């Protein structure tokens, strides 16, 4: 129930290739997140899976069945949109029940299933309201409820939290995580926010320019990025990427080191730099240094006080640096 297989999917709009051959397998019950910068094709891929766009070539299999020519409503999927996309003229109850009504389900079954979904999302008291009478967070819960009611094999989320403010975003994120545990359903989720990706996913798919850069668990991506793109994309603040030639190292084009894997000292260390700016976040202190080989970001845990323009020495943690070749691939060992 609920596995997905994508085989060599390509999608072009006119002469623009948006997806350039995507292969992916999603197991039943997995929470998979597509991340990538804008325009990398992640939303298009989701739409192709949903059947809202036809792939130019390639196959999509849901539960082992080829669904290339199956209309969206018959694919056993449900989708939650960034803009909520609630039907403005229907009440919350009818919004959630419309899919079942179209499928010809009896009225008491629709009532029972909307009842279950609305209590799961604590929407009971809003059932008779119209979407215009709800807040943004409530609307998105209704949209999620509409997906749950369909009891799909596959949940598709298209940047569902982007339109919510920061506090609501955290709450809704927790809610989605809870739903995933409760429903044990397969979920595919598109976002450009790496925090969402890291916190929710069983498996993250990093997309760049219509291709998959790397697939792996959040910690695999963090600890063992295979390309320079993944290294730079996952982790905040961004990994320091330094030209190897300027460091006098051979055998690699670029050296990568995460800001949290650097120690500083006022007296001695490997790299000398001057402090450009210091950010105090309470739990962390982020220091921006200017060195001979360019800017360097350092993240220290706890509170630290350093003067701007002061001299600091930075030392990378042993074994925590990454080396990348000319093609941006990581060099093992």
Kindly list the residues in this chain that would bind other proteins in the complex (CB under 8 A). Answer: 47, 50-52, 71-74, 77-79, 81-89, 98-99, 102-103, 146, 150, 158
Bridge partners (DSSP) of residue 48 are: none
Burial of 241 (0-12, 13-18, 19+ CB in 10 A): middle
Comparing CA positions, the residue from 196, 224, 235, 151 lying closest to residue 31 is: 196
**Least gap, CB of 95 to other proteins (angstroms):** 9
The residue among 103 and 107 lying less far from other proteins, judged by its C-beta, is 103
Minimum CB separation from other proteins for residue 183, in Å?
18
Which pair of tokens denotes residue 235? 């982790």
Least distance from C-beta 92 to other proteins, angstroms?
14
Determine contact, residues 321/249, Cβ cutoff 8 Å: no
Structure-block tokens of residue 314? 């930075």
- The residue among 14 and 64 lying less far from other proteins, judged by its C-beta, is 14
Q: What's the DSSP call for residue 166? A: H
Choice between 150 and 203, CB closer to other proteins? 150
Residue with smaller CB distance to other proteins, 143 or 262 = 143
Shortest distance in whole angstroms from residue 149 CB to other proteins:
10
For other proteins, which is the closer residue by CB, 66 or 89? Answer: 89
- Cα separation, 122 vs 36, whole angstroms: 32
Torsion of CA 250, 252, 220, 10, to 10 degrees: -170
Q: In angstroms, rounded to a whole number, what is the distance separating the alpha carbons of residues 151 and 274?
A: 58
DSSP assignment letter at 329: B
- Closest CB to other proteins among 61 and 98? 98
Closest separation in Å from C-beta 230 to other proteins = 29
Work out how close the CB of 68 gets to other proteins at its nearest, in angstroms, rounded to a whole number.
16
Other C-beta atoms closer than 10 Å to the C-beta of 192 total 17
Least distance to other proteins, CB of residue 185, Å? 15
Residue among 85 and 244 whose Cβ is closer to other proteins: 85
Distance separating alpha carbons of residues 224 and 216, to the nearest angstrom? 9
Q: How far is CA 168 from CA 13, 82, 96, 114, in A?
A: 35, 14, 21, 23
């Amino acid at each position: 129930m609920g596995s997905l297989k994508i085989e060599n999917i390509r999608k072009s709009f006119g002469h623009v290739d948006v997806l350039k051959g995507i292969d992916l397998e999603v197991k039943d019950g997995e929470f998979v997140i597509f991340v990538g910068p804008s325009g990398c094709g992640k939303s298009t891929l989701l739409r192709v899976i949903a059947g809202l766009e036809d792939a130019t070539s390639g196959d999509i299999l849901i539960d082992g069945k080829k669904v290339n020519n199956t209309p969206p409503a018959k694919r056993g999927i449900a989708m939650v949109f960034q803009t909520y996309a609630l039907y403005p003229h229907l009440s919350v109850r009818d919004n959630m029940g419309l899919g079942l009504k179209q499928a010809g389900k009896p009225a008491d079954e629709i009532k029972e299933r909307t009842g279950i979904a609305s209590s799961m999302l604590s929407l009971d008291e809003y059932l008779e309201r119209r979407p215009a009478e709800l807040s943004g967070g409530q609307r998105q819960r209704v949209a999620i409820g509409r997906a749950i009611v369909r009891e799909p094999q596959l949940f598709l989320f298209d940047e569902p939290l982007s339109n919510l403010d920061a506090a609501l975003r955290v709450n809704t994120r927790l809610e989605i995580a809870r739903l995933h545990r409760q429903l044990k359903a397969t979920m595919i989720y598109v976002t450009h926010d790496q925090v969402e990706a890291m916190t929710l996913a069983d498996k993250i798919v990093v997309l760049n320019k219509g291709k998959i850069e790397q697939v792996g668990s959040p910690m695999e991506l963090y600890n063992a990025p295979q390309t320079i793109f993944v290294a730079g994309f996952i982790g905040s603040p961004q990994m320091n990427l330094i030209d190897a030639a300027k460091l006098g190292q051979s055998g690699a084009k670029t050296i990568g080191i995460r800001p949290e894997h650097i120690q500083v000292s006022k007296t001695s260390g490997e790299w000398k730099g001057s402090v450009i700016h210091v950010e105090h976040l309470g739990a962390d202190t982020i220091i921006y240094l200017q060195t001979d080989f360019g800017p360097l970001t350092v993240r220290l845990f706890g509170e630290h006080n350093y003067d701007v323009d002061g001299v600091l020495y930075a030392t990378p943690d042993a074994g925590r640096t990454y080396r990348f070749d000319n093609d941006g691939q990581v060099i093992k060992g």
